[in-house]
Structures are given as C-alpha cells and as structure tokens.
Amino acid sequence: MIRLIAFDLDGTSLRHDRTFSPAVLQAVGRAKARGIYTTIATGRSVATTRPFAEMVGLNAPAICAQGGSVYDFEREQLLHHFMLEADLTCELLALAEQYPHWHAVLYQNEMIYVSRLAYDRDFYFRWLIESPPVITDNLCGVLGNDKADKVLFVIEPHHTAEANVVLRQAMARRAVVVQSHAMFVEVNPLDAHKGAALARVAAHLGVAQHEVLAIGDQENDKTMLEWAGVGVAMANGSDIAKSAADWIAPSIDEDGVAVAIERFALATQV
C-alpha cells in the first residue's frame, strides 16, 4: 500500500505552460482523499515552488532545491536546509571562469544572482525564477562570509557532458553534481539530493520506505527513484532516470503522473 507520493515538477508533472493537467490534479486529489500524503520534489527554491504547491494542495512537506530544503507549506516551517560553504562556492565560480560558455546562476537565501543575462528573460522566468535575477559583476562577492543554496550552470546541451566531468572531478566528495535539464548542471550541498530528502520526509510522516512512490524524469531524480519502494520514470525522461526506475510511465503529454498514481496508489487501495 502506498502512503506517500512524491513527484517532480518540470518534465514530469508541470506542463510547458506551467500548469498541471486536469488528470494529474484529479489523481492527486483522489490520493489525498484516501489519506495518502502527496508532495513535490523539485530543484526549484522554496519561493518558486510555493505557487505549484498551492495549485496541487500538498499535504506533506515539499522537497525543494534538489533536496537542500524540506519545507512544510501548511505550517510555514523549514524542516531541513543544507548549504554550500562560501569558500567552496567561490572556488566553484572561479573554476567556471575557465569555461566562457558556462553561465553561472547563484542561489542564496531565496535570491538569484547572475553575472549577465545570457538568455532572454522569459527563459529565466520559465525555468529558474519568478522575479528578475540580480545582475552583479562579482558573484563570489555577493556571498561575503555567508553560504550558498546552490550553483546552477546553464550550458548548451552539446557542452553539458564536459561540464559534468569537470565538475564531478572538482567537487568529488565535497558536493553533489547533477544534471537536472538538458541545459542545466547543478552543484548542490553534499547532503542535498532528492533520495535523502525523501527519506527525511517519510520519516517525519512515519511512512515506511516500501510505502513510498516517487516519480521523476531526470538524473537529479535518480536517488529518489532508487530509494522509494516504487520508482517511476517518465517516458520522456533521461536514460539515467529510466535505469533507476521500477516502471516507465507514459510521457508528460500523456499524463504519466496520473497514470502512475492510479496504477500504484489508487488501484491498490482498499
């Protein structure tokens, strides 16, 4: 019996117009009506997750910032928060200067900083933020002695493989490097990944591992798909996500999240 459902947003449940399909909302509503906890597991910050949490009406703490933050929107309470040390962040930003085609986006305390707008503002609004980023010529200087939530690099798809290799070598055993989109390579705190965060949420709710259903589409979803009792990858997802899953759902355009909830949570309820 499934007692907790966690699903990713972009590429999994959230359509290109930043809405959920009626089928997904109906499936989530039916799950909640049967007493099943439902939550979001996303790379978005707490602030940019809020409108989607309200659309769905979550009844469990949300996993934000790739697991760096676990936030209870019902009680307005931050349950867990992991950050990158300032010196590690500045080292990372200095490394990125060697690769002009990497566009760094610094996340700190619900603010987003960039050195330049490499893409039009609609791109940022659609994928990264809900308000204009702060443009600065000194990203490291923004930190002071404070920590960062994460650093995301926007990179053209034909360069992401190289970025993954370089960043994983540089950040080995010091931070988590994941690809969350064809153009996004992220560096997150060492304890910040969706699998660990999902385990924390389940423990907080008193839900056993085998009672958890996780649904995602990208490499950053891999750890939660592996940890959950049932891991589901989207048909439109990456090969890495699919290899970690127990089942492949239809694509986002075919309401794969709704299909997975029906198959693994609703159809098995008494």
Q: Are 179 and 161 in contact (CB under 8 A)?
A: no
Task: Identify the band that residue 270 occupies on the pLDDT scale cut at 50, 70 and 90.
Answer: very low
Convert the pLDDT of each residue in 156-197 to its tens digit: 999 999 999 999 999 999 999 999 888 899 999 998 999 999
Which architecture, in CATH terms, is 86-189? 2-Layer Sandwich (3.30)
What pLDDT score was predicted for residue 16? 85
268 confidence band (pLDDT: 50, 70, 90): low
pLDDT at 126: 62
Taking residues 110-131, what's their average pLDDT?
71
Residues of the chain with CATH 3.40.50.1000: 4-81+192-266
* pLDDT band, very low/low/confident/very high, at 235 (cuts 50, 70, 90): very high
Residue count (the chain)? 270
Instruction: Pick the closest to residue 92 from 49, 3, 152 (CA basis).
Output: 152
Instruction: Answer whether residue 269 shows pLDDT above 60.
Output: no
pTM of the model: 0.89
Burial of 180 (0-12, 13-18, 19+ CB in 10 A): buried
For tokens 């965060």, the residue is 197
Q: Which residues 6+ apart lie within 8 Å of 120 measured at CB?
A: none
**Complete DSSP assignment for 103-149:** EEEEEETTEEEESS--S-HHHHHHHT-SSPPEE-S-HHHHHTT--BS
Looking at every residue in the chain, the average pLDDT score rounds to 93
pLDDT above 80 (res 122): no
CATH superfamily placement of domain 4-81+192-266: HAD superfamily/HAD-like (3.40.50.1000)
Tally Cβ neighbours within 10 Å of residue 146. Answer: 12
pLDDT at 124 over 70: no
Using one digit for the tens of pLDDT, what is the confidence trace for 16-74? 888 999 999 999 999 999 999 999 999 988 988 999 999 999 999 999 999 999 999 99
pLDDT exceeds 70 at position 123: no
